[in-house]
Chain A
Amino acid sequence: MSRTAVMEERRANLSLRGLHKRYGSLHVLDGIHLDVGHQEIITVLGPSGCGKTTLLRIVNGLIPYDEGEVVFRSERVAAPRPEMAMVFQHFGLFPWKRLYQNIGYGLRIQGRPPEEIDRLVRRYIGLVGLDGFENHYPSELSGGMQQRAGLARALATQAAVLLLDEPFGAVDALTRELLQEELLRIIDVEPKSMIFITHSIDEALLVGDRVVVMSPRPGRIRFELETGFGRGREIEAIRASDRFQAMRHYLWEALRHPDSDPGPVPDGVSLRMEVKP
């Protein structure tokens, strides 16, 4: 790939510029700047109540913000748009729709022709490993399977940006690891820009190209780490690497001491401190 093509690839297609959000006197987000490159995966890590979910809902256009702007492909985001799709922590499947209808939901809302819906739904049911469960209701499926369906529903819309709100936060630990592997495999097949909110340091490192660490409320971006694991990731190989361990330790210390400087970064890891406008 030529240098210019790489530059083109990395060009931001989603930018958050100086985002502020207040609920009455509560200052939730305090000047968030973030550029999400084409097919780049950003994981957002931070303590509970730091505004991560609020941030994601703002990016999706679900709630208004007070200052700054969200820009997607040079347009200001003020309402949900079909180029972005959300994966919800509690799956958000319709209990009265069978799996097939749930996965096709976004496509149906967009008014795609039935043949196209059928083709895409079948493809993504296969991709997330839910073949044979088309006619089941969500309550007949385990949490892990429901979230696979939530993921398939978002992917099926062919959105350019995927927003994931602690997607694996409501499943058990084993299922969580399986889903992480699954997600990495899907990303290799279908690269997307993603903002992935998580509480888990491991998950942030395993999934993300860039880990953004937020401060406690009012939420600010403290610093960002480039994970540098590239595509075609093998979870076990990454876990075993010194680089992973060093970054994990660094992030852990940073999260334990939210008010102090995280100190010097491990060798070979690039760090970006928050850039104030």
Chain B
Amino acid sequence: MTTETKPLAEAKEQKAAPMLASLREPRVYVRAVSLFGVLGAWEALGWTGIIKPSTFSYPSVIASAFLSLLFSGEMMKAAYQSSQILGAGLAIAIPLGIALGMFMGRSRTFEYAVDTFVYALYATPVVALAFPIAMVLGVDFAGKTTIVVFFAIMPVIINVYHGVRNVDPMLLEVTRSFCSSEWQRWRDLIFPSIVPYLVAGLGMASGRALVGMVVAEFLMSISGLGALSQDYIGNLEMDKGLAPVVFLMIVGILLTKLVDFFESRFASWRARNER
């Protein structure tokens, strides 16, 4: 038995590496230098007057505009409006995407019935659908939410579908050999298999949902962060126009981190060995 415990010992060693060790890694410094270098250069261009405040802005001015919008309450009001269509859109897109992807992956009949529409929609620039959607559903909540759904649902469907399709055929045979019912097969094999695919899909979906949200706010009735940005840019107040963009960037990063957290919770068996 002693000859067989080696991989285990190795796994333990890797896990024991202290968190602080990351400070010694060069990537931390490379990233910091790159980030501050680019921001610094941009800032310098602003100070020397090469960037004119009426056409573009630079970091320190955007930062102060960001804070003033934040403290005046404008930013939060806009964010609240935006979050409603973003939240509603994702709340529809994620479960619906998972369900469609799962059925497409597991049932040939269902796949053939819907795949034409799915791939056609996948190939269509959704922005072009904004006006037809507005005509049918209106330019308010329903129309905007639908745009977000169209943006966000595709990566969820496609990834879940591929996850179901890529279930290890050998494990599928194991479940059959042990007389598993279809429901037990989902529980023991298919759901756990699609988690990594789903997580990747959710990451893409959250990014696309933000794009969809801004598109909806630009093109439909005036509301939210997109409208806030557009209003100020229209007044040539570039610093205030870009501040909501920075806000959206931060939200995008937070959403990605949330998805990573979700992954580490549900795929601990992979995290142990592959990180």
Contact = CB atoms under 8 A, between A and B. Distances in A.
A163 B8 CA distance: 29
B273 A94 contact: no
A57 B181 CA distance: 19
Q: How large is the interface on B (under 10, 10 to 19, 20 to 34, 35 or more residues)?
A: 20 to 34
B4 A142 contact: yes
A85 B11 contact: no
Contact of A109 (B4, B6, B184): B184
B178 A106 contact: yes
A80 B179 contact: yes
Given A80-B178, A141-B4, 20 more contacts: A60-B177, A80-B176, A80-B179, A82-B178, A85-B177, A86-B174, A86-B177, A88-B170, A92-B173, A92-B174, A94-B192, A96-B192, A96-B270, A97-B188, A109-B179, A109-B181, A137-B272, A140-B8, A142-B4, A142-B7
B188 A105 contact: yes
A112 interface: no
A266 interface: no
Contacts of B270: 95-96
B51 to A, nearest CB: 52
Interface residues of A, number: 32
Per DSSP, chain A at the interface is: loop
Contacts of A85: 177-178
B273 A157 contact: no
A145 B177 contact: no
Per DSSP, chain B at the interface is: helix
Nearest to B191: A96
B273 A96 contact: no
Contact of B189 (A90, A94, A144): A94
Contact of A137 (B3, B170, B269): B269
B11 A62 contact: no
Contacts of A105: 178, 188
Contacts of B76: none
B180 interface: yes
Contact of A144 (B4, B177, B184): B4
Given A140-B272, A174-B3, A94 B177 contact: no
A163 to B, nearest CB: 8
Contacts of B175: 109
B170 A140 contact: no
Contacts of B180: 109
Contact of B173 (A62, A79, A96, A137): A62
A82 B267 CA distance: 30
Contacts of A60: 177
Contacts of A97: 188, 269
A136 B7 CA distance: 12
A132 B236 CA distance: 69
Given A94-B192, A105-B188, A136 B179 contact: no
Contacts of A96: 192, 267, 269-270
B171 interface: yes
A106 B177 CA distance: 9
- Kindly name the residue among B5, B170, B179, B189 whose own CB sees the greatest number of chain A CB atoms within 10 A: B179
Contacts of A129: 1
B192 A140 contact: no
A92 B178 CA distance: 11
10 smallest beta-carbon distances between A and B, as pairs: A92-B174, A142-B4, A96-B269, A86-B177, A96-B192, A106-B178, A137-B269, A139-B273, A109-B178, A80-B179
B3 A92 contact: no
Contacts of B174: 86, 88, 92, 94
B188 A94 contact: yes
A192 to B, nearest CB: 16
A139 B8 CA distance: 9
A242 B117 CA distance: 71
A117 to B, nearest CB: 13
17 contacts: A57-B173, A60-B177, A62-B173, A62-B177, A82-B179, A86-B177, A90-B170, A92-B170, A96-B269, A109-B175, A110-B179, A137-B272, A139-B273, A141-B4, A141-B8, A144-B4, A174-B3
Contacts of A80: 176-179
Contact of A140 (B11, B176, B178): B11
Contacts of A141: 4, 7-8
